[in-house]
């Protein structure tokens, strides 16, 4: 076996291992994040009470929306493979 045959054999096995690992792009737990996740429930509840919202994020809802409007174009991504995290959630996690 020469060096070229060994190279082809090694690269083929690496490709197979990567293909096996990527058979499931997202764990089932993370697929439920949109319905069961902390952000989706908590953020909606905080939006109903301005004082709690301020305690949680250390800013008013108006300030949060102002910042979101400013950074939203930078945080928006398009993906053909999986659903992306919303700019609102990204900002909320960053501020928290």
Cα–Cα distance, 25 to 50 (Å, whole number) = 38
Which tens digit of pLDDT belongs to each residue from 9-60?
Answer: 565 555 555 555 555 666 777 777 777 778 888 888 898 999 999 999 999 9
Question: What integer pLDDT is reported at residue 54 of this predicted model?
Answer: 95
Residue 2 falls inside a structural domain: no
Sign of the CA dihedral with 36 first, then 42, 44, and 48 last: positive
Residue 32 falls inside a structural domain: yes
Domain that holds residue 80: 27-95
Region of 37 (left: φ > 0; alpha: ψ -120 to 50; beta: rest) is: beta
What 3-state class would DSSP assign to 43? helix
Looking at the 3D structure of the chain, how many domains does it have? 1
Residue 40 falls inside a structural domain: yes
What CA–CA distances, in Å, run from 38 to 44, 54, 66, 96?
A: 10, 17, 23, 13
Residue 6 falls inside a structural domain: no
Which tens digit of pLDDT belongs to each residue from 48-91?
Answer: 999 999 999 999 999 999 999 999 999 887 777 777 888 999 99
Residue 13 falls inside a structural domain: no
Whether the CB-CB separation of 22 and 59 falls below 8 Å is answered with no
Question: What integer pLDDT is reported at residue 39 of this predicted model?
Answer: 85
Residue 20 falls inside a structural domain: no
Q: What is the pTM of this model?
A: 0.64
Residue 49 falls inside a structural domain: yes
């Amino acid at each position: 076996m020469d060096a070229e045959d060994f190279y082809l054999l090694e690269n083929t096995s690496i490709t197979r291992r990567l293909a096996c690992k990527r058979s499931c792009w997202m764990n089932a737990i993370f697929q439920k994040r949109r319905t069961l996740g902390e952000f989706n429930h908590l953020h909606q509840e905080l939006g109903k009470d301005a004082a709690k919202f301020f305690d949680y994020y250390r800013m008013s809802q108006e300030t949060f929306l102002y910042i979101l409007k400013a950074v939203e174009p930078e945080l928006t991504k398009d993906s053909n493979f999986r659903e992306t995290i919303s700019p609102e959630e990204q900002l909320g996690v960053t501020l928290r």
